[in-house]
Amino acid sequence: MLPPTPPPHSTGRSISPRTRRKTNQMRLCTTPLVRRIWTVELRPDHGGSMLHCLQCSPSAPSVRTAPSQALTHLAGHARHDFLPRHLRTCQCHSHGCRWHPRHRGCSGPVLLVLTRERGGRLWRLADTCAACAAATAHAAVVPDTVLATASPAESVKRIRQRRRGRTPHGPSEQVRVREMLSYLAAALPARTSATARLLALQCALRSTVAGDVTIPAGLIRGMRLPSEPSAFTELEAAGWLRSPTRPTQRAGFSVELLDTAVRMQAPTRADRARAANWILRTCQMSEIRQLGTSPRLLALALAAHLPDEPGAPASAEQEVLARMCGLPPQELIPLLDTLAATHFLRSWAHGAVPEDLHWELDRHNHLTGNRSSLESDRVTSHTGQAEDPGAE
């Protein structure tokens, strides 16, 4: 009598109950499912607008601070639903990549990306891979330093380190500037001028925890910003800041930031001030100091993307640079030629993919690394805004 024929794809050996129990246990997922996509929408209502979130009850923010409160609401969800980076997945891919046009496919690290849609009425914060983030319009990567909050013990440790003459290890000034440029690309309206973006950069990096900022007159002159208050009016109309006075080149100005996400940055005030002074040092370079604000903002974005290795070319997608500077992508080429003509750029060229740009700067060593001992890092004290070594 022949033995019974085993079922297809079977080895003919029976599985013991103990092995079956282990197999079932391995299939169990012990990690709780954390939703890493949040959306808020500002809907018109009687006399104002309502903030709608799928996870929360509606609220009624003021008209002036509605965008800022929407970003603060999203940041709160991201902090509450924290998930380690190695467990995050691209939410754009899981939704069929319908948030952007077709591209070369998902790739790169998973980042936290903020997207503005419908003219600022809808905001989405989601885990997205680097490729999808670059292909999504009106999107920017949210820096980890914006969402991270320092514990009291960490704050005391930083103060002690500064008193001992040591600085805590962290990203360089250019990395902080690049992250803030990316964040402001989504937080501010797309048509925000280059002058307003330069002003917003200084305010974001020099603000206190309470959101108070004092920009002295010397800093305005050092940045070579126009004396007209049009840039200030843009930021005020966008609900990003407010102040009872207008800025002047003689007296400077004091404002209060309404963007709570910027006010809750983890780096200390001194760390952020070094990044702000790096911006000032870059804008004061002889090759670009006589140019307008648009080419100087582009020069700042190009310098912020430089690698630390001397002689290594920098690269970025053309659309990413245009978004940081508030420009249409086709306007980048004339500005790049202008920066090359003034010898700020040694060379620039398109990459293997036309959307990619590669460039080299003539003064690479002057712009990379933490150079807090330079004279420009003391411009704050010379212009009337002394740093408190214990300020956070």
Using only the alpha carbons of the chain, give its radius of gyration. Answer: 25
Q: Which two tokens stand for residue 379?
A: 């411009």
Q: Please report the sign of the dihedral spanned by the C-alpha atoms of residue 146, residue 148, residue 150, residue 154.
A: negative
* pLDDT surpassing 90 at residue 100: no
10 Å Cβ neighbour count for 137?
13
H or E segment and range at residue 294:
helix 293-304
Helices within the chain (DSSP H only): 17-27, 66-80, 91-94, 130-135, 144-147, 152-163, 173-187, 194-206, 217-222, 230-237, 260-263, 269-283, 293-304, 318-325, 332-341, 364-367, 379-382
What is residue 299's predicted lDDT score, i.e. its pLDDT?
Answer: 95
CA 225 to chain centre: 23
Q: What is the mean pLDDT of the chain?
A: 75
Give the separation between CA 103 and CA 107, rounded to whole angstroms.
11
- Per-residue pLDDT, averaged over 338-362, amounts to 89
* pLDDT surpassing 50 at residue 48: yes
* pLDDT surpassing 80 at residue 13: no
8 A C-beta contact, residue 49 and residue 66: yes
- Over residues 196-224, the pLDDT tens digits come to 999 999 999 988 877 888 888 888 888 88
- Per-residue pLDDT, averaged over 141-155, amounts to 55
Among residues 375, 373, 363, 376, which one has the least CA distance to residue 306?
A: 363
* pLDDT surpassing 90 at residue 71: no
What is residue 64's predicted lDDT score, i.e. its pLDDT?
Answer: 60
Q: Using pLDDT thresholds of 50, 70 and 90, give the confidence band for residue 69.
A: confident
* Tokens 């103990």 sit on residue: 18
Which amino acid, residue 352?
A
* pLDDT surpassing 50 at residue 309: yes
8 A C-beta contact, residue 385 and residue 212: no
What is each CA distance from 252 to 64, 102, 330, in whole angstroms?
A: 23, 47, 35
8 A C-beta contact, residue 152 and residue 84: no
Domain edges within the chain: 37-142, 153-382
Give the separation between CA 23 and CA 252, rounded to whole angstroms.
69
- Per-residue pLDDT, averaged over 71-98, amounts to 81
Give the SS3 label for residue 240. coil
Q: Using pLDDT thresholds of 50, 70 and 90, give the confidence band for residue 152.
A: very low
- Over residues 234-245, the pLDDT tens digits come to 998 888 888 766
Give the separation between CA 42 and CA 21, rounded to whole angstroms.
51
8 A C-beta contact, residue 216 and residue 253: no
- Over residues 106-140, the pLDDT tens digits come to 887 888 888 888 777 788 888 888 888 878 887 87
Burial of 275 (C-beta count, 10 Å sphere; 0-12/13-18/19+) = buried
Q: Using pLDDT thresholds of 50, 70 and 90, give the confidence band for residue 301.
A: very high
* pLDDT surpassing 60 at residue 146: no
What is residue 294's predicted lDDT score, i.e. its pLDDT?
Answer: 94
Mean pLDDT is highest, among 3-7, 321-325, 365-369, for: 321-325
- Per-residue pLDDT, averaged over 301-307, amounts to 90
8 A C-beta contact, residue 71 and residue 111: no
Give the separation between CA 163 and CA 148, rounded to whole angstroms.
24
- Per-residue pLDDT, averaged over 38-54, amounts to 79
8 A C-beta contact, residue 369 and residue 176: no
Give the SS3 label for residue 49. strand
- Per-residue pLDDT, averaged over 12-22, amounts to 54
Q: Please report the sign of the dihedral spanned by the C-alpha atoms of residue 257, residue 261, residue 266, residue 272.
A: negative
Q: Which two tokens stand for residue 314?
A: 């920098």
Give the lowest-confidence range in 15-19, 98-102, 303-307: 15-19
* pLDDT surpassing 80 at residue 155: no
Q: Among residues of the chain, what percentage have pLDDT more than 90?
A: 15
- Say which residue, 267 or 348, is predicted with more confidence: 348
